[in-house]
Structure 1
Amino acid sequence: MGELGSFFAGLLAEGGDAATGRRYHDSWNVVQDRYGVLPEGIEYSTLAATSRGNQLRPEFADAAFSLWLETGDELYRQRNQKHFAQMRRTSKVRHGYPILTDVTTNPVGRGDFCPGYWWSEQLKYYWLTFGDARRFDYGDHYLSTEGNLLKGARK
């Protein structure tokens, strides 16, 4: 399984199947609990990391945000808070957040660049989850898979 697939939990909820979305997100949360930060790939039957890096992808945070919007369950905000705390703990350096090369080591291995989607997507999901953004309509909205606001902006 690849970390990119963790977004599917939110898509299930948006499609009306929040119960299946929760179970799928639960499975990725188990991985997060094991490693602290999601590895890029896992062997699902053993949860062994098959790709040990982390590219600071937004899919887990996206799914938690979508599940929270659809269900109102604070569990997903708590998961995003934990996810952000782990990102800060493992990735934060003086001037940004570099990718991780190995989440299975302590301390984690760090790369030397930060992808643009960290700033344009990942932080947006955190901000919308925790910021009580007055310009975002939490009840009537539509975001693209890249976190672009397509509907729901307020003046």
Structure 2
Amino acid sequence: MAVSPRGESYHDSWTAVLDIYSLPPDLLDYRGMRATDPSSPLRPEYADSCLSLWLVTVVRDVRASPVMLGDLTPAYRSSENANYYYLLFGEARRFDYASAYLRTECNVLRGLLHPAAPPDTGALSACDAGPDAGVGGHMPGCAVASSA
């Protein structure tokens, strides 16, 4: 399987950054490899470039060297990543970033704001909206706390 030269170059550039910094900085001047914004919001570009670089779909045999790749990409890879990207970078107005609680597959357990509540009021999430919300007092997909 051929490796994309463009993908390999992109991956190598971020690998060089990680040789200098423990995490990728948010902004970087490549000419001097200097972090112009030293914060790291843990963006997924490097990890995604690794996946795209090697064109990993599914691995058919981990015992083989090199590993034997399959010929499919599970749909959850795209759907889960799209959900995470939207919540991380979309500045969603109905998502409370301060109190959010996500589980695997980017399912929101806590942090959805009620449609009538402005996002900066500290309003309850949709999962905590009370007895009038959803079926049985909770929104579908929200975790129901046990009283035990």
Q: Same fold judged by TM-score > 0.5? A: no
* TM-score, reference length from structure 1: 0.38
Normalising to structure 2: TM-score of the pair?
0.40
Task: Determine which structure has more spread, i.e. the larger CA radius of gyration.
Answer: 2
Q: Which has the higher contact order (CA 8 A, sep 6+)?
A: 1
Bigger helix share: 1
